[in-house]
Structure 1
Amino acid sequence: MRLTLLTLQTLFMRSKMRTASLIVGAVLVVPFALHCGAARADYLIPDSVQLTPVAQFPGTKGYMAPDYAAQRARLHSVYLVPVEVFLAPDSPYKGIDPEEMAQVTRTFAQILTQEVIKDMTVVDTPQPDSLILQIALTDVRLEKQGFRLRNLTPVGVAINGVKRVAGISKISFKTMTVQAIGASGDNETLLFAIDNPPRPGDVQESVRLDEIPKVLATKARNLRAVFQTIRDAH
């Protein structure tokens, strides 16, 4: 399957536009996302990509080009497109600070570099021999701890003060799906695509923003395992 030059450029432009939208303020982020459909769980992966279930990972779907091995052999570097985040339309909370969200994407990019592409040559700008890797957290639902009367008590005030000092966030991630696309930098050939949501039946526990690196590390390892499974099946 080939992505046309226009399609690939559109993907990169959407990435730049959405990344830019994160720094203009929380008031502008949500209207922009909802207007352009960025909250769709399948937004990163084009509708034309035929995903198939990955039996070893219930709920996960993937695609790999029939000639992946030959295509991949021609590529000698990896360019990681800035990680994106798409809030679900029904997210209980949408007012996260843009810098906090940017910190999440930077953290995930660092984890991906250390966990998924650690043995590859990573470049700052895409080259003709680069694998273009684009990853997003989609269908994200956020929660925020509400106001409680106990916060007005001396104990409550003291607890909140300790939390602020410790960097404990009141914002939590409730759900998220990891999506990934890999394409060659020279002829825009789509090499693989992965949609890795939580497993069906999993209890979705809220994870505080300051605890999210642990979850992202697990997500990165799962993404690597899914990719290796799909690759080995071809």
Structure 2
Amino acid sequence: MNGRSGLLRLLVCACAATSLACSIANAGNLIPASVPLTPVVQFPGTTGYIAPDYDARRAMLHSVYIPPIEIFLAPDSPYKGIEPEQMAELTTAFSNALRENVLKTANVVDTPQPDSMILHIALTDVRLTRRSLRLRDLTPIGAAIDGAKRVAGVSKVSLTTLTVQAIGVAPDSDIALFAINNPPPPGSAEPEPVRLDQVPALLEKKAERLRAAFTAIREQH
């Protein structure tokens, strides 16, 4: 997969549950291998790229369009049965975090314009777990508790890991303006699983870390 056309094909699959469509794959990366990523000193494990003429090219683009966010499940994810509604919640939460915390001063549009930077986002290396059936669940009390949790939106599925990838391109070019591969820091403690209904708060932190990584890439180059 190379160039903008390949990226658009990658992200065009949709979940009808939301206007911020999403799709899911078993494994993969958003950023083409042809993009020359280099380590970002301030963020161990993170790699990035920014075009030498980024400022000049970006100055010609006056809006930002975010295509459907994609989710890539890690091949060794203990649970792979994520529902379309759950995928939509994840991608919507991350898109909202980007709009509110990262792109709050940008002109974010719902459809791409001739002067739009196309900002592709993917959540990769996603590992999920699902709470196993317990004996208590088979009792009337357990069933009642389980029903109450479902009504309250408490998910049995939890997220353990994810990496955020982003690449920005101009609408008329196959050359990346910038790209970021932003995994958790290497050697960090194994994170506690986060229930899917609690993930929006985590994604806000991921969005902010993506913003900080982009700033570091610009300063580094």
TM-score by length of 2: 0.90
Name the structure 2 match of 1:73: 59
For the Cα contact (< 8 Å) 1:82–1:109, is it kept in 2? no
Structure 2 unaligned residues grouped into runs of 5+: 18-22
Q: CA RMSD in A?
A: 1.9
Name the structure 2 match of 1:167: 153
Name the structure 1 match of 2:202: 215
Matches for 1:149-168 after TM superposition, within 5 Å: 149-168=135-154
TM-score by length of 1: 0.85
For the Cα contact (< 8 Å) 2:3–2:175, is it kept in 1? no
Name the structure 2 match of 1:59: 45
Name the structure 2 match of 1:8: 4
Correspondent of 1:95 among 81, 84, 99: 81
Structure-2 separation of matches of 1:136 and 1:233: 24
Matches for 1:123-202 after TM superposition, within 5 Å: 123-202=109-188
Correspondent of 2:211 among 224, 231, 234: 224
Structure having the higher helix fraction is: 1
What CA deviation, in whole Å up to 9, does each residue of 1:11-54 have, x standing for no partner? Answer: 1122113x35x87xxxxx87xx34xxxx12xx100011111111
Name the structure 1 match of 2:20: none
What CA deviation, in whole Å up to 9, does each residue of 1:158-177 have, x standing for no partner? Answer: 43233122210000011100
What is the aligned residue count?
A: 215
Structure-1 separation of matches of 2:58 and 2:111: 18
For the Cα contact (< 8 Å) 1:65–1:191, is it kept in 2? yes
Identity score, percent: 57
Structure 1 unaligned residues grouped into runs of 5+: 24-28
Structure-1 separation of matches of 2:121 and 2:36: 18
Per the TM alignment, residue 154 of structure 1 is displaced from its structure 2 partner at its CA by 4.7
For the Cα contact (< 8 Å) 1:129–1:186, is it kept in 2? no
What CA deviation, in whole Å up to 9, does each residue of 1:127-180 have, x standing for no partner? Answer: 222111000100101100000112234543343233122210000011100000
